[in-house]
Each structure stands twice: as structure tokens, then as C-alpha cells.
Structure 1
Amino acid sequence: MKKVGLTGGMGSGKTTVAKMFKELGIPVYNSDLEARRIMNENTEVRKAVKALFGDNAYENDQLNRAFIANKVFGNSALLEELNKVVHPAVRKDFRDWAARQSAPYVIQEAAILFESGGHELFDHMILVTAPKKTRIIRIKQRDQLSEKDILERMKHQWSEKRKKALADFVIHNSDLMGTNKKVRKIHEELIKTRVKQ
């Protein structure tokens, strides 16, 4: 099974692009959603999260996302510890999920595939980009964050220039028609190309 990574900075439109691939019949694994599920359901992960953050990490038996986000915001050491717990569990879950699919290829959508070194596990990497101003507007509308908070979070992600150097395909997501055209073109290429040995 050919594995393709789909990534991009906050507000670049990864999820929009992922939906377009889904419409072409390609299974997409959303790392954010699955990580939340794993943090709620996986006993070992829950135990490790509680060891890092205390019992307040869970409220009414569900992950207390606001509490954890608040704790890791601006604390890169704690965020790194959390990633060490969650990333391996997500990788394993993705591998198991991919093995159950029967499409020509599968996609894993994740924000920090390059930053985490996860890109090395894929046959191909797709990077979604958008102008910084556009990204800030999208995040403001979606997450109701201040521009200061958005810029602070963006600092933790690699520059687009650095990511472009490692990507096999780049989608400039500024207008939906152009993005859709590019997705279809990449889809055709991915169906033709072989899995990396």
C-alpha cells in the first residue's frame, strides 16, 4: 500500500485538500482527530498523559483539550514530551488502518510531518501552502484566536521554504478551482507511480 503524507502550516487548507482526495475515493487518515481518539481510548497513552499533566488532563473521562493546550502553549519541552507519547501511538494506528484499506494509495493528514521527522515514513509528501495573511484570516475565523497567539503558534512550525525542499508535490491553496485541478493532477500521478522500494 502506497502511503502519502499531506501536510502544511496552520490555516493552509490541509483539510480542504484532504476532502478533495476523499471525493476521488482515496482514504484519508486525519491525525488530529485520531490522536484525540487515541488519547481518550488507549489505556497506556491515557496513563502517560496523566503522568505528564496530572488528573486534570481528563474531565468527565474525556480528554481536557483546553487544559492541555494551555499547559503546552509556550512550553516547548512539555509539548515535546507529549509528542513522544502521542506520535508513536498515532503512527502505529495509521499503519494498522492503512493495512485495512484497498485503494491505490492512502493519505495521512498531519500538521507537523516534517517537523516530527514523520515524512521519512511516506512514499510521497504533499505540501499545502497559502499566503501568510490568508492563513491568519482563516485561523481567526476558525479558532477565534488573536493574531498574537496565531503568530506564536506559527513560530513552532518550519518555514514553507524549508518544507518545499522536502515535498514531492506542492499545492498553492489560494483559489478552490485551482486547488481542485492540482489535486486531480497529483492523484493521476500517484496512481501511475510505484511505491518506493
Structure 2
Amino acid sequence: MKKQITKKNKILQLGITGGIGTGKSTVCKIFETLGIAVYDADTRAKMVMITDDILKKELKKAFGDEVYLSENEINRDYLVKTVFSNQENNEKIEILNSIVHPAVGRDYQHWYNENAAKSPYLLKEAALMFESDSYKVLDAIIVVHAPLEERIKRVLKRDSHRSEEQVKAIISKQMPEEEKLRRADFVIYNDASHSLIKQVLELHEKFQSLS
């Protein structure tokens, strides 16, 4: 795990990523309590998917009109079954990402302009940080890691509409955990053996010293 950061940006911009169920959102909430602005790419993507008319047209063209229940509501069950359930559907995942990621990138830039002066450093949380190449413009990447079985339990408890098979299918489509850890600049371990708060506080002090 690297310890030195070579700043690319005037204001330190850091990424937080990890597979589904690792606890990225929990880690980000701790950073937020410390006064750090956090961009939640997954939540913002859901917003963009119902507010960006060009994006909506592209999604309907790629996956059919059924992708929307109404003008302001995504058919998430349909999208999950269409894109993630079939083990052979890597091409559909690539199509979805190619449509959504550029729109999220534009949204992040608007968010950055609004928050750059309000926080000592900025965090961008995204499940597909490496897959989307958005990590390339950030100064360093934090990977949140948790045991596989614990991740599955968390997602099933959080998302009652998903089955264990669907969760495993999503995990199988994401970058392998070993590869994420290899690429990480910093790792936060979200398991019974490590204190999340202590790990976040240590990183917070480091990042503040670089700001």
C-alpha cells in the first residue's frame, strides 16, 4: 500500500471505492462528520438517470422503454435483471456504463465547482472507480475491503428486493477484489478486526496535512 501522494489537483481529490456491500457509504459518513464534502457517484447517477433527458433517451434506446416505470422513475428490477442477472451479459454492462459514466463525470464537475472552497479536501465515492477510469483524475484512491460472505449478508439485509444469486452475479461482474487492493493507495478494512473510526481518523489527519 502506497503512502506517498503526488498531487495532481490544486485541491486534494480522493476516491473511495470497493465492491458492493463493503461499506463504502458508512466510511463516507464518518468522513462527512469530520466536515469533508463527499460526492456519492452512485446516488448522483440515479438522479442523473431521471433528470438528464439525453441520458434517458440513450437508456431507452439501449434497453427498451421498459427501463422506465414513468418519466421520473427507473425500473430498477428490470434493469438489474436485464444487465446483471445473465452471466454472459458483459456487453450490456459495458453499454450501461458507457452511457451513465460520462453523464456522472459532468455532474461531478458541477459539484466540484460548488464544493471546492468549502472542504479541506474532497472525496468521490464510486463502486466502479477503476472500471470507469475516473480514478485517473484523482490524487489517490481508498479501497474499502470486507469479507465476501459479510458483503453478501449486508446487501441482502439492505436490498430486500435482491436475491443472493443476483448479489453474487453483481459481484462477479465487478473488478476482482485482489485487483482493487493491488491498485489501492490506501485500504480501509471493514471487518470485526479493525476499527473503522480509527482508520478514517488516521487518513483524515494525513489528508489534512497535504491540503
TM-score relative to the length of structure 1: 0.92
- Residue 188 of structure 2 aligns to a residue in which SS? strand
- 1:72-128 C-alpha deviation (Å, 9 max, x unpaired): 122221121111110011011112201211211111111111122221121110100
Q: Does structure 1 residue 97 correspond to structure 2 residue 111? A: yes
Distance 1:37 1:162 in 2: 29
Q: Give 1:18's aligned amino acid.
A: C
Q: Does structure 1 residue 117 correspond to structure 2 residue 102? A: no
Q: Does structure 1 residue 69 correspond to structure 2 residue 80? A: yes
- 1:141-192 C-alpha deviation (Å, 9 max, x unpaired): 1123333322222111222221122111100011497111100110111111
RMSD: 1.6
The answer for the alignment partner of 1:30 in structure 2 is: 40
- Residue 158 of structure 1 aligns to a residue in which SS? coil
The answer for the alignment partner of 2:6 in structure 1 is: none
- Residue 21 of structure 1 aligns to a residue in which SS? helix
Distance 1:53 1:43 in 2: 15
Identity of matched residues, %: 38
Residue 19 of structure 1, CA deviation: 0.4
- 1:46-80 C-alpha deviation (Å, 9 max, x unpaired): 11111112222222212222222221122221121
Change (3 A) 1:164 1:177: closer
The answer for the alignment partner of 1:173 in structure 2 is: 190
Q: Give 1:81's aligned amino acid.
A: I
Distance 2:64 2:179 in 1: 36
Q: How many residues align?
A: 194
The answer for the alignment partner of 2:180 in structure 1 is: 163
Consecutive unaligned residues in structure 2, runs of 5 or more: 1-10
Distance 1:78 1:161 in 2: 24
Consecutive unaligned residues in structure 1, runs of 5 or more: none
Report if the CA contact (8 A) 2:12-2:210 is conserved.
Answer: no
Q: Give 2:93's aligned amino acid.
A: L
Change (3 A) 1:64 1:147: closer
TM-score relative to the length of structure 2: 0.86
Report if the CA contact (8 A) 2:18-2:144 is conserved.
Answer: yes
The answer for the alignment partner of 1:82 in structure 2 is: 96
The answer for the alignment partner of 1:183 in structure 2 is: 200
Structure 1 range deviating more: 109-118 or 165-174:
109-118
Residue 41 of structure 1, CA deviation: 0.5
Equivalent of 1:139 in 155, 168, 179: 155
